Amino acid sequence: MPYTRETYDGTITGRNTGVAERRNSFNFEGKTNRHASSRRSKRDSRVSDVDQNLFGDEESKDRYLITYADLITLLLGLFIILYAISNIDINKYEKMMNSIGYIFGGANVINGSKFDNNVVLTPLQKLKGELHQLIIAKNYDGSVALDENDRGITLHITDEILFPSGKAELSEDSKDVLGNLADILKKIPNDIRVEGHTDNIPIQSDLYPSNWHLSVARALNTAYFLINDKGLNPDKVSIVGYSEYQPIAPNESKIGRSKNRRVDIVIIK
């Protein structure tokens, strides 16, 4: 049905409201929707680009695993180091601490702890301190070693300072060493055992048919000197020969064999 309307310029125009006109109206809306859809697709594309820049691809999301793995490795290394330093050789630690204390003077060091003259020490601790001071003062550290174990305190004396090679007679230098040690040993009430040791190289001579004979003879002559010349109580002294069967170092090397050829003075607890 036609109708008329007045325009702004005063003229009257007519318009047909048929079906075709309504179809054109729908077409206009379709065009509008297509333009809106195009704008939305462009906007969504820009948003996806922004998201990709912000979050990256799948590989960039997993990059934190590298840092995490490095952290775990460092922690593992730290725990291994802590475990390693927690296992301390007590004997070596005591020797080191004692040496430091005696070198710098002042307070003595026993069993890894400092003490002054007002602290009460056990007789064994006092004896160990005196023997260690003697070894340091007389430069015996290359030939006399101090050791403490379940039996008591042991003085390892190498045969180079005590006897000529293959013999059991005390040398003049050994008498000075044994004399200085005896000045301390004869003050204590402990039992003392003198032990002879050899390396694993067999010996055959008129005096010593075997290493057993040599080890016993060396222990016997050392004990006799301490008793007869230095006044040790014979009731407290005993001797034993171990031949080659109680080494303190491998016999495969020359240095090891020299350590095994020794006389041990054991101060029994």
**Domain of 193, in residue numbers:** 122-268
pLDDT band at 139; cut points 50, 70, 90: confident
Name the pTM for this structure. Answer: 0.56
pLDDT of residue 138: 86
Residues 6 or more apart from 220 whose CB is under 8 A from it? 168, 194, 196, 239
The answer to the question of residue 58 being in a domain is yes
Query: Are 42 and 171 within one domain?
Result: no
The answer to the question of residue 194 being in a domain is yes
The answer to the question of residue 110 being in a domain is no
The answer to the question of residue 222 being in a domain is yes
**CA dihedral in degrees (110, 116, 122, 124; nearest 10)?**
40
* Dist. CA 73–CA 62, nearest whole Å: 18
The answer to the question of residue 64 being in a domain is yes
CATH number of the domain bearing residue 217: 3.30.1330.60
Query: Are 73 and 153 within one domain?
Result: no
Across 70-94, average pLDDT: 79
Query: What are the phi and psi torsion angles at 243 (to 5°)?
Result: 55, -130
Quick: pLDDT tens for 241-257: 999 999 999 999 999 99
The answer to the question of residue 103 being in a domain is no
Query: Are 258 and 157 within one domain?
Result: yes
The domain total for the chain is 2
Query: Are 128 and 251 within one domain?
Result: yes
Residue 88 pLDDT greater than 80, yes or no = no
Query: Are 150 and 264 within one domain?
Result: yes
The answer to the question of residue 9 being in a domain is yes
Query: Are 213 and 260 within one domain?
Result: yes
Query: Are 157 and 241 within one domain?
Result: yes
Higher model confidence: residue 14 or residue 81?
81
Query: Are 68 and 129 within one domain?
Result: no
pLDDT of residue 67: 87
The answer to the question of residue 117 being in a domain is no
Query: What are the phi and psi torsion angles at 105 (to 5°)?
Result: 75, -170
Query: Are 259 and 130 within one domain?
Result: yes
CA-atom Rg of the chain in angstroms: 48
